[in-house]
Structure 1
């Protein structure tokens, strides 16, 4: 059995270098570099010895030096335009969690999908900062101008939950239509037949897929959704309130409402509290995403748990595999992640 490397005296007294790690581990500087860059073709025993030496010396590779020494920047870009802060936070945490394992850094960049200079903004970013890959999220991942700009720059990219151009790039997603189908079935199994629906932002592909799942479940149960109970939302709390006002303005109202995301469900519940409509006694409300607020609102929200953090983690993993020369798939490769229906107190039997 190989003996673990012995620590140098007072390793924290000065900034350790790659030479120190190589000397302590008894390997070449090149071997240390390959281990730190998470490159293949290094024996497991050698890799473990180098990492232990690096930990003992508190060694951290210099990002600039690593970039100058090779063709990689060790930076992944995350581009997003989404009103949900929890969604963006989970995306960042998922990408960071994976990138840290390989010594990469994540640069999160908000972009306005409606900006007239969007193409110039993204093109300028890619020209200024050399990225080893880009993670694209909705709605940017479905915008031809964005894809063309990134492709023209020659930067690899992976899309999270794309709706359009399915074979244009690698992607990670969950089955939004199936998840919405199962949530609608859940309400049907509780005895509800008059089920309203709040659409998500029309520029997000997931909005259309979730509506498709709702419609299919209703029709499979022998019912046709009522057009007056389908309201347009925009994935925001305020649009949930507006949808609730419209849904409950008529003489007839649904006994259950399925909001396309949690933020709109929160707006629906807030309006109900303000107007004396009891949830779930008078109306059941369900959402989609399972954001932290689902356990803060009362009653706790029944919702679909979307693996947002894992989606970003897998997107980063695909980019890093390509950067390390380990990706052998084709542009249309897609990783499908599971979802979970979380039943709580906001939906009850009719």
Structure 2
């Protein structure tokens, strides 16, 4: 047996020393189930002794795919995308997989075919699909037809557990609005997310659930639509602050728009939280860095990204068990300084 090779060891060296064929070595490297435990252990011992590292390009050619996980999005919330990338990269750490990111246009009539081309061109092992693209069943069907593993992210469960990571947006927002009501607020307004986003629908539903539970109604005038961006949040807030009497509390459907609510209030000389309470959604870094610090719903997006990656590569990485990966992730309210009881 050889202890060390001067030149980089090859698959031929592994086969010769282990006394097996190149095909058997290849099956061990690619985790084929067509081998006995004894043969697998013998070949792995030689691989470890020689310090052999498989050529990823050769493996990709043999398996018919690259060791790439795609992330597809069309979302104006840049921080959400960054957090999702962080989670996926954490899930892939220590494996041979890498990530490639692809923005798409959800309004394009060629969306499904564009995504199919991306999968085929990159020879993807699997794909993580962010909302609102993930809410399109035709996209999931296309992934199955293309033979590409997929996981959808959403604000509600839309698919089988192995294909889904979801958050409880409706219940989380209900908890947040309950908190405002418990503080004594009766004129509560909402800056919603954009139409076409399931998250916007779920968060509005949670808001209305809490109001109904308390015997309160949401007047149409107390609802303004945003686009999950700071600028759209400003426009929506101006609309709400022009009301007479104006709201004593505003729930914004993400932190970016909540920051815009705070900014608009400051421009008008409205004290937060003494004259206006604000609650956001996401718990992005900005939430704890503005003043007053923002009360917000913590969205476990990094954990969702990590689990999505694990669900995709569970069949290729022995240490990861698909059964250990949850489908629903719970958001919770983080109470900071932007909420106070309304003045009499």
Band the TM-score falls in, shorter-chain normalisation: 0.7 to 0.9
Shift of 1:149: 3.0
- 1:298 is aligned, of 291, 295, 298, to 291
Partner of 2:62: 69
* Residues in 2 aligned to 1:254 and 1:27: alpha-carbon distance in whole angstroms: 79
SS at match of 1:101: coil
Is the 8 Å Cα contact of residues 135 and 315 (structure 1) preserved in structure 2? yes
Task: Tell me the number of residue pairs that the alignment of Structure 1 and Structure 2 aligns.
Answer: 333
Match for 2:328 among 331, 336, 344?
Answer: 336
Match of 1:130 among 123, 140, 149: 123
Alignment of 1:1-350 (within 5 A): 61-161=54-154, 163=156, 165-166=158-159, 170-323=163-316, 335-350=327-342
Gaps of 5+ in 2: none
CA distance in 1, matches of 2:195, 2:278: 21
Change (3 A) 1:27 1:271: farther
Once residues 24 and 330 of structure 2 are traced to their aligned partners in structure 1, the CA distance between those partners, rounded to angstroms, is: 38
**TM-score, scaled relative to structure 2:** 0.83
CA shift, 1:100, in A, is 2.7
User: By how many angstroms is 1:270 displaced?
Assistant: 1.2
Gap change, CA 1:15 and 1:264, over 3 Å in 2 = farther
Question: Take 1:183 and 1:102, find their aligned partners in 2: how far apart are those partners?
Answer: 39
* Distance 1:254-1:104 versus aligned 2 partners, 3 A rule: same
Shift of 1:32: 8.4
Give the Å deviation of 1:38: 7.2
Shift of 1:296: 2.1
User: Is the CA contact 2:155–2:202 (under 8 Å) kept in the aligned structure 1?
Assistant: no
**In 2, are the aligned partners of 1:132 and 1:323 still within 8 Å (CA)?**
no
What is the match of residue 3 of structure 1?
A: none
Report the Cα distance in structure 1 between the residues aligned to 2:3 and 2:233, rounded to whole angstroms. Answer: 59
For structure 1, the residue ranges without an aligned partner over 5 or more in a row are 1-5
1:129-174 deviation line (CA, Å, top 9, x unaligned): 2112111110101124423432332322110116585459721111
Whole-Å Cα distance in 2 between the matches of residues 21 and 344 of structure 1? Answer: 60
For the residue of structure 2 that corresponds to 1:287, the secondary structure is strand
Give the TM-score of the pair, scaled to structure 1.
0.82
Shift of 1:319: 1.4
For the structure 1 residues 312 and 33, does the alpha-carbon distance in structure 2 shift closer, same or farther, using more than 3 Å as the test?
farther
- 8 A contact 2:112–2:138 mirrored in 1: yes
CA distance in 1, matches of 2:175, 2:87: 26
Q: CA RMSD in A?
A: 3.6
Deviation at 1:313, TM superposition (A): 1.2
How far is the alpha carbon of 1:250 from its aligned partner?
Answer: 2.0
Which segment is superposed worse, 93-102 or 247-256? Answer: 93-102
